[in-house]
Structure 1
Amino acid sequence: MASIAVITPYHQEPLEVLEQCHRSVLAQEPAADHFMVADGFPNPQVAGWKVRHVVLPQAHGYGGSVPRGVGAMLAEAQGYEFVAFLDADNWYHPGHLASLVELQRRTRAPVCSSLRTFHQPDGTPIETVEAAEDQLVHVDTSCLLIHRSAFSALPVWMHLPQQIFKLCDRVFVAALRHKRFAIASTRQRTVAYRTLYQTHYEAAGLPLPAGFKPTNILHPSYEWLNTREGVALTVERLGFWPAAYMA
């Protein structure tokens, strides 16, 4: 039986959003232990759930990278075979973990992934896909299952420069590629992803939601990554230059 730790960093999400996230983990087969890591704002109700509740004494922000890394490192120290991730505003569809574990057993790939369904903030489905994801160029963090043979990549979450925190999932996948860990995909849409990205709404012909993320939101991070400072600091902190592994 696989031992799986699902790592969810959370900050100030509404309780009903956290509940949906957690229920989706409880419904998985094989069963997984849910690590919910509070980034400076612990919810007292979460402490009463069937979770490994980890509380960081102060908020770090930066897309949840620090609490994600803390949870992953704890799971490694406790001897789990697999680490998966699930952002607090996302949820798993039934069969998500089972499909990933089956793929890993069959292919022996150190990293396995899925695709996503897209949803409005209230959970309403959006009929759209993302070309970069379907082509396996982009892999969202919540879609990943990491076997212990690839755990050497986990510390990357702790060392991300704050200037590229919006690229955190892309940088982590770049680290996997840098370390030459093969990434297999089920090509199944088993992660539900709440989106605020303008591109998803425009592709579906829907009005933009409040607080939407504009198309160019990632441009400053990419630009910094290509500066002399960006190259030097990422190589110093991560041991490689992420842009070399990004399409």
Structure 2
Amino acid sequence: MQIALVTPYYKEDLAEIRQGHESVLAQDMPCRHIIVADGFAKPEIDAWDCEHIVLPNAHEDKGDFARGMGALHAVHAGAEFVAFLDADNWVEPNHMSSLICTALKNGTAITTCRRALRRLDGSMLDPLDNESDGLRFADTGTILFHKSVIDIIALWAMMPRNVGTIGDQIVWAAVQARGYPISHTSLPTLNYRTKFRSHYIARREIPPAGTTDIAHVESGAQAWNALNEHQRRCMLIGYGRGVAA
């Protein structure tokens, strides 16, 4: 059984990308790491134990197209399961094995874990974030996809650029709308380095320098609402169902 973990990157710090890559190499079961440069390739990555795919131009969509292309490459090359890891995050050694075992035990095409929130310096902010619970919402990095849900996997590469900041919400809504079976490990095996001020404020901490508000997320939501009903329907339940409006 072949499994792959896909990391898109743009201009993130090389040290953070390396931390994520090393966490993939440290997995307690074999896992291919596919790293996709979204227009700003770092030549150092060519020497790493990974598959380094370089896209010629940045797509300005928060890595969605790069994420989708990396995942489609993984499936085409034989991966049965695909997961994702943002360039500034990292995973625990049992991340993939716990997801795979849960998926196989329950026969699910979609399997989720939980995430721990990390401060920008990597220290622990919250060991079990309640926002990404695998029910109301699942962060991209917490989801394992079986190749049978290729329609969901491909959605990353098919969304309009201006909704990129809410791509994870659109994908999760599509998972729910299409009724795929879901199971959960309940383990916080994703370490999510949060830049959102709201995460710090909610935990009674002063947000550090480098954090941001949710204006870009709100912009993506506005772009989503500006789409017509057919466009939204295509992304949620699938393309090719009716004539475009």
Give me the TM-score of the superposition, normalised by structure 2: 0.90
Match of 2:219 in 1: 220
Shift of 1:233: 3.4
Separation in 2 of the partners of 1:44 and 1:215? 32
**Is contact 2:174–2:235 with CA below 8 Å preserved after alignment?**
no
Q: Secondary structure at the match of 2:6?
A: strand
**Is contact 1:234–1:240 with CA below 8 Å preserved after alignment?**
no
**Is contact 2:103–2:110 with CA below 8 Å preserved after alignment?**
yes
Match of 1:107 in 2: 106
Alignment of 1:18-167 (within 5 A): 18-127=17-126, 129-134=128-133, 136-167=135-166
Q: Secondary structure at the match of 2:114?
A: strand
Q: For structure 1, which segment, 120-129 or 9-18, has the greater mean C-alpha deviation from structure 2 after superposition?
A: 120-129
Unaligned runs of 5+ in 2: 240-245
Separation in 2 of the partners of 1:151 and 1:239? 13
Separation in 1 of the partners of 2:7 and 2:157? 15
Shift of 1:183: 1.8
**Is contact 2:151–2:238 with CA below 8 Å preserved after alignment?**
no
Shift of 1:236: 5.3
Separation in 2 of the partners of 1:37 and 1:5? 13
Separation in 2 of the partners of 1:115 and 1:163? 28
Separation in 2 of the partners of 1:174 and 1:235? 11
**Is contact 2:27–2:96 with CA below 8 Å preserved after alignment?**
yes
Separation in 2 of the partners of 1:230 and 1:224? 10
Shift of 1:221: 2.6
| Corresponding pairs, count | 239
Separation in 2 of the partners of 1:240 and 1:6? 24
Unaligned runs of 5+ in 1: 242-247
Matched to 1:180, the amino acid is G
Shift of 1:132: 3.3
Deviations 1:190-235 (CA, angstroms, capped at 9, x unpaired): 00000011221012221112232225553333233233x3434334
Separation in 2 of the partners of 1:178 and 1:136? 13
| 1:233 counterpart = 2:231 | yes
Q: For structure 1, which segment, 46-55 or 194-203, has the greater mean C-alpha deviation from structure 2 after superposition?
A: 194-203
Shift of 1:182: 1.6
Separation in 1 of the partners of 2:188 and 2:237? 33
Q: For structure 1, which segment, 199-208 or 123-132, has the greater mean C-alpha deviation from structure 2 after superposition?
A: 123-132
Separation in 2 of the partners of 1:167 and 1:3? 29
**Is contact 1:161–1:233 with CA below 8 Å preserved after alignment?**
no
Q: Secondary structure at the match of 1:155?
A: helix
Separation in 2 of the partners of 1:235 and 1:210? 39
**Is contact 1:72–1:154 with CA below 8 Å preserved after alignment?**
yes
Separation in 2 of the partners of 1:131 and 1:59? 32
Q: Secondary structure at the match of 1:131?
A: coil
| 1:177 counterpart = 2:166 | no
Matched to 1:200, the amino acid is H
**Is contact 1:10–1:36 with CA below 8 Å preserved after alignment?**
yes
**Is contact 2:156–2:171 with CA below 8 Å preserved after alignment?**
yes
Matched to 1:104, the amino acid is A
Once the two structures are aligned, what percentage of the paired residues are identical?
Answer: 33
Q: Secondary structure at the match of 1:38?
A: strand
Match of 2:4 in 1: 5
